[in-house]
């Protein structure tokens, strides 16, 4: 176990090394910083960002927006998912809506939202529409995994509703909810940044990326991109560890 983890770590390190090396070579080949900045230059810009005062303002604005969007999607998704999973007519009713929303390109949502809302609301609206169907889908699928015979049994023995929810439904949906939440949270950052780049809210990473793009500061765009990757990784890890603890508890 330990030996293989160690080996895997080595492979990961090697993989990252090859990536950075490839990047450095490509940058050398491109020859111009505005086309492809080298890893070193990008790292310097990243350090510059981290030490600037406005960095934290933009970072916190995006974090707050992302978490709000994800939170809204999570709760609405849970709600609609529960309704759909417990009462099949609801599922049939919501299905066309969800399918339609899911098939809509997120860029189309952004463009439409731009016409309807102010910049701050655009990002929330788009994130919500992209993430909430994923949660809904997963919750309702989880509920369908509950053994119908078990449901029947619970009904026959008149097990209390709260016990049914706690011991029958929750364990069933948790793995699905975990998958849905992980996928949803990952998408949140991607969609949020895209919406920010287009909608330009006063504060936000996407706005800064767009500004850097306008002025051809490619290294700055790279640096912000690394920041977003870090955010995404951080929340992914956080969620996994939180959910794993819960999941083990249920098992």
Provide the binding-site residues for another protein, judged by CB under 8 A: 32-35, 114-115, 118-119, 198-202, 207, 210-212, 214-217
Helix axes 218-250, 205-214, angle to 10 degrees: 160
The 8-class DSSP code of residue 22 comes to H
Q: Is the dihedral of CA 6, 8, 13, 18 positive or negative?
A: positive
Closer residue to another protein, CB minimum distance, 137 or 218? 218
**Between residues 140 and 217, which has the closer beta carbon with respect to another protein?**
217
CB 118 → another protein: shortest distance, Å? 7
Length of the chain: 251
Distance CA 100, CA 97 (A): 5
Output the smallest distance, CB 53 to another protein, in A: 15
Nearer to another protein, 110 or 131 (CB): 110
Task: Compute the least distance from the CB of residue 214 to another protein, in Å.
Answer: 6
Burial class (CB in 10 A: 0-12, 13-18, 19+), 79: middle
Three-state SS sequence of 28-72? HHHCCCCCCCCHHHHHHHHHHHHCCHHHHHHHHHHHHHHHHHHHH
Closer to another protein by Cβ: residue 200 or 240: 200
Minimum distance from residue 78 beta carbon to another protein (Å)? 33
Helices (H) and strands (E) in the chain, counts: 11, 0
**Long-range pairs, 15-21, Cβ under 8 A, ≥24:** none
CB of 119 to another protein, least distance (A): 6
Q: Residue 39 CB, nearest distance to another protein (Å)?
A: 19
Please, which residue, 178 or 227, has the CB nearer to another protein? 227
204 with 61: CB under 8 angstroms?
yes
Shortest gap between Cβ of 193 and another protein (angstroms)? 14
Which of 94, 117 has the CB closer to another protein?
117
**The token pair that represents 224 in the structure block:** 């912000």
Nearer to another protein (CB atom), residue 114 or residue 182 = 114
């Amino acid at each position: 176990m330990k030996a293989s983890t160690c080996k895997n770590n080595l492979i990961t390190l090697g993989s990252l090394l090859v990536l950075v090396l490839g990047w450095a070579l490509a940058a050398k080949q491109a020859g111009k910083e505005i086309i492809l900045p080298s890893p070193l230059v990008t790292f310097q810009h990243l350090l510059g960002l981290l030490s600037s005062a406005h960095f934290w303002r933009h970072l916190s604005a995006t974090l707050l927006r992302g978490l709000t969007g994800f939170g809204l999607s999570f709760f609405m998704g849970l709600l609609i998912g529960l309704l759909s999973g417990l009462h099949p007519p609801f599922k049939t009713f919501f299905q066309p809506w969800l399918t339609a929303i899911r098939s809509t390109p997120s860029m189309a949502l952004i463009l439409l939202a731009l016409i309807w809302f102010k910049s701050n609301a655009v990002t929330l609206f788009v994130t919500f529409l992209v993430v909430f169907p994923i949660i809904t889908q997963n919750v309702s699928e989880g509920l369908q995994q509950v053994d119908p015979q078990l449901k029947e049994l619970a009904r026959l023995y008149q097990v209390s509703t709260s016990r049914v929810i706690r011991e029958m439904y929750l364990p069933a949906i948790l793995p699905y909810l975990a998958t849905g939440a992980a996928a949803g949270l990952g998408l949140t950052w991607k969609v949020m940044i895209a919406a920010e780049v287009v909608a330009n809210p006063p504060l936000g990473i996407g706005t800064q990326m767009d500004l850097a793009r306008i002025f051809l500061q490619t290294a700055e765009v790279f640096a912000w991109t690394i920041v977003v990757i870090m955010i995404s990784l951080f929340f992914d890890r956080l969620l996994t560890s939180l959910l794993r603890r819960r999941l083990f508890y249920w098992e």
